[in-house]
Amino acid sequence: MLTPSLSIFANQAYRHYWIMRQLLSAARQMQAVAIGWQVYDVARQTRSVEESALLLGFVGLAMFAPVFFLSLLGGQAADRLDRKLILVVTNLIRVACACALAVSPFFTGPVTLVIVFGAATFLGVTHAFSPAASSALMARIVPREDMRQAIAWNSLGFQGAAIGGPAIGGLLYILGPTTVYLVSAGMLVVATVFIATARTPRHEKLEGQRGLSMVIEGLRYVRDNKVVLGAISLDLVVVLFGGVTALLPVFARDVLHTDTVGLGLLRTAPAIGAAIIALLLATRPLTRRIGAWMLGAIAVYGVAMIGFALSEVLILSMIALAVTGAADMISVFIRQSIIQLATPMNMRGRVSAVEFIFISASNELGEFESGVAARFMGPIGAVLLGGGMALVTAAAWFRLFPQLAKTDELDHVDEEPARPTG
């Protein structure tokens, strides 16, 4: 039994890193609420529900495109450059984006949308570089024996930010989107100060490797490690089709007939379910039959998503979303543990970059898919499709990735030596 202990925060570098992560997560959640409602509200002035939902999908596409084209470069950068410096620079870019978003409401509809989409694109650029650097840096500052403890605390902190961020964002939106963006900018400044002052180990440069060969090596490793490939591709397929985040403004306004506070509650609900599971995993981490747990959680996710699609009552919709968050938390914990424990230290940046391409594709590109599906099937039909796809995927992965399904103990997922390319 693993007891959640504050002793890990005696590590100054991890303490500053953890605070930075939570401030960044909360700021992103607040911005997501404001962007979603602002774009949908502007779009509904001249467009139908379905057309406005499609525009929300394009916001996700704007954030995904830079990730798709630049993440492998970001992974290479995380293995070659100072990871803390990468995080400082990307956080400063996020501050600039938040300031640009803060002035967007002062313009007319089309200009507002141009500013929002431009900021979303630059935020996508930061997402192409910071996750790989963040994941690789944690592997340097946290000893292997403390890694599961760190992952559990990261999950708890993230879910806490995911609970508070949307709720605060929804409340602040009453004062206007500018207020939300300025508060998030202040949080990002503080996050930058914390990571800049973290006493991290000196970066060790990789010698004798060129950029293209490093990228190919990372891709080959993920391709050949079926457990890692199965874990990250599972998330890609399920959230790509089963994500509902982009459509929450649609459900809040036109299905459940609520306001920005209700939207904040809907965005908070999955985090509440995830936080409960994260706390349980911090005290009683999964140690056996982790593959079966992961695939079973995906099946539960699909059933809950179907329940959300059919609900017309706010509290029932929140309960269904809380169940999806709880199921997703099990999958995320197992996936992150597998990647941190199975990946060689000198490849963490590149493997994390490949992982984030899959994750970002499932989130941002999934938002675009949701918008397109809602345009032609309606928002309820789009979510029903996603829930059904999650159930089909859980069944299919038992056969497509038997190594993942049969994975038993996390402690036996050990690092494999990196194989030279060529």
Say how many C-beta atoms besides its own lie within 10 A of residue 95's C-beta.
Answer: 18
Position 20 in a domain: yes
Please identify which residue in the block is written with the tokens 């056969």: 399
Position 234 in a domain: yes
- At residue 211, does pLDDT exceed 90? no
Nearest to 302 by CA among 320, 280, 277, 275: 320
| Start-to-end Cα distance in the chain | 44
Nearest to 136 by CA among 81, 90, 95: 81
Q: Which band of pLDDT confidence, cut at 50, 70 and 90, is reported for residue 421?
A: very low
Pick the residue with more confidence: 305 or 226?
Answer: 305
Q: What is the mean pLDDT of the chain?
A: 82
Q: Cα separation of 211 and 257, whole Å?
A: 52
Position 7 in a domain: no
Mean pLDDT check: name the lowest of 124-138, 150-164, 342-356.
342-356
Pick the residue with more confidence: 212 or 35?
Answer: 35
Position 421 in a domain: no
Q: Cα separation of 286 and 266, whole Å?
A: 28
Position 229 in a domain: yes
Answer for the pair 87, 105: CB distance below 8 angstroms, yes or no.
no
Q: Cα separation of 418 and 392, whole Å?
A: 34
Token readout for 24 is: 């960044």
Answer for the pair 10, 199: CB distance below 8 angstroms, yes or no.
no
Nearest to 350 by CA among 339, 341, 362, 361: 339
Q: What is the structure's pLDDT at 361?
A: 56
Q: Phi first, then psi: give them for residue 168, nearest 5 degrees.
A: -65, -40
Q: What is the structure's pLDDT at 372?
A: 81
Please identify which residue in the block is written with the tokens 């005696």: 10
Q: Provide the number of structural domains found in the chain.
A: 1
Please identify which residue in the block is written with the tokens 């069944």: 395
CATH number, domain of 293, equals 1.20.1250.20
248 contacts: CB under 8 Å, gap ≥ 6: 36, 263, 266, 267
Q: Name residue 239's amino acid.
A: V
- At residue 415, does pLDDT exceed 50? no
Q: Cα separation of 412 and 17, whole Å?
A: 28
Answer for the pair 264, 169: CB distance below 8 angstroms, yes or no.
yes
Burial class (CB in 10 A: 0-12, 13-18, 19+), 169: buried
Answer for the pair 125, 360: CB distance below 8 angstroms, yes or no.
no
Please identify which residue in the block is written with the tokens 């981490």: 285
402 contacts: CB under 8 Å, gap ≥ 6: none
Read out DSSP for 172-205?
Answer: HGGG-HHHHHHHHHHHHHHHHHHHHT--PPPPPP
Q: Cα separation of 344 and 340, whole Å?
A: 9
Q: Which band of pLDDT confidence, cut at 50, 70 and 90, is reported for residue 205?
A: low
Token readout for 97 is: 């984006």
Position 3 in a domain: no
* Helix boundaries (H) for 343-365: 348-360
Domain residue limits at 163: 12-412
How confident is the model over 94-145, as pLDDT tens digits? 999 999 999 999 998 789 999 999 999 999 899 889 988 898 898 889 887 7
Q: Which band of pLDDT confidence, cut at 50, 70 and 90, is reported for residue 213?
A: low
Token readout for 9 is: 């925060």
Find the length of the chain. 422
Position 422 in a domain: no
Position 33 in a domain: yes
Question: Whole-structure pTM over 0.85, yes or no?
Answer: no
Q: Cα separation of 381 and 379, whole Å?
A: 6
Q: Which band of pLDDT confidence, cut at 50, 70 and 90, is reported for residue 171?
A: confident
